[in-house]
Amino acid sequence: MTTLDQIQFKNKRVIVRADFNVPIQDGKIQDDTRIKYTLPTLEKILKQNPKYLIIIAHQGRPKGEKVPELSLKLHSKKLAELLGKKVTLVENALANKLPQEKGVMIFENIRYFDEESKDKEKRKDFAKHLAQFADVYINDAFACSHRAHASTYDLPKMVEEKGMGLLLEKEINALSPLLKNPEHPVVLLLGGAKINTKIGIIKNFKDRADTICVGGAMGTTFLHAMGYEIGKSLCEKDKIETAQEILLSMEDQKERFIIPRDVVIADELKDNAVTANLPIRDIDYNESAFDIGLKTIDLFVEKIQGAKTIIWNGPMGVYEHKSFQNGTRKIAEAIANSGATSIVGGGDSVDAIHRFGISPGKFTHVSTGGGAMLEFLEGRKLPGIEALR
């Protein structure tokens, strides 16, 4: 694939697909990390004086509707502040003319348009429409590259020059060695709520990882699959059969596939809840597990301290509430202090390390992609990357 250094941008019309999908609350951007991560690419292009620079991005999942709360107005203001340049918001990406032929522009939420992700033919027509504005296409949105959308997959095929931004290049360079020859012992830590999104990486790393540790609601789903009472704990009951298949495939290597030994339970999910640390066999039908317990933390930390390569995706509990932060915090701190090659991904994991005040610099690589990172590590070809070849 072509890198940024191999392209001349002077006097050219440039489109950059970026990932500006940031947390917003009360009409304010809560964390502008994703916007800042794209700045090196944008600044490198702008230094060469392109004719203009258009940024394509999205916020949330408006599903083809113009949802005011998901507008990129806040993003355009934040980007102007960070770049120190005027940024014009182009509200109608379907218009045949741009409001200007110079400077920096950002198209309004690309997912306001049904054509971005729906029918293949509509996608192609939309991409053809967008391609009329570009001489060069750059993908710097790793987190969106597992989607075969108009702006990530079809558009680059229709632009004469195309390449990857600095952030996308960094992601590929950080994750690729994990699929080839990672240094052992390799420890894979998976949390969060859904097994379905992580089945592929479990299967792909079943023989690559020395230890796979599972926490969060994923952990309670596996416990339920083993016949334990999990009370009112979050559980993917429609994935019990899948969990049982994974457990069966690891039957002869149980010591390598570690699920919670104990959990933190409470009657309700809130800060300062009354909690108890219980062995998994003692969970009552009326209780809910919201975090991994102390013995499980110690076991996971022991594996982390002995690792040379660590991959972490997904929190160990409901870390947003103080009563249930301990598992995720202890795991994050252990990885940060491990000295191992450490890769962290998934929006919640990244949010957790920021929330706990742990510097991202303590990890080898903090991925901007959740689903994209998982699919990459499954060994799957990501549409947004393949379209750049």
Q: Write out the catalytic residue numbers.
A: 34, 194, 347, 371
Rounded Cα–Cα distance for residues 381 and 259 (Å)? 29
Task: Tell me the β-bridge partners of 52.
Answer: 13, 103
The two three-digit tokens of residue 257, written as one number: 């596939």
Asked whether 41 and 20 are in contact (CB, 8 A), the reply is no
φ, ψ of residue 342 in degrees (nearest 5): -125, 130
- Tell me how far apart the alpha carbons of residues 241 and 226 are, in angstroms, rounded to a whole number: 10
Token pair belonging to 267? 């009657």
Distance separating alpha carbons of residues 3 and 359, to the nearest angstrom:
28
Q: Which secondary-structure segment (H or E) carries 164?
A: strand 161-164
Nearest C-alpha neighbor of 112 from the set 167, 146, 77, 73: 73
Secondary structure E strands in 2-86: 13-17, 24-25, 28-29, 52-56
Q: Which of 14, 1, 45, 58 is nearest to 159 (CA)?
A: 14
| Cβ-based neighbours of 227, under 8 Å, separated by 6 or more | none
CA distance between the termini of the chain: 5
Q: Would you say the C-alpha torsion 281, 282, 288, 293 has a positive or negative sign?
A: negative
Question: 92-96: long-range contacts at Cβ-Cβ below 8 A with a sequence spacing of 24 or more?
Answer: 93/56, 93/130, 94/126, 94/129, 96/129, 96/132
What burial class does residue 127 get, using C-beta atoms within 10 Å of its C-beta: 0-12 exposed, 13-18 middle, 19+ buried?
A: buried
Which is it for strands 28-29 and 24-25: parallel, antiparallel or unpaired? Answer: antiparallel
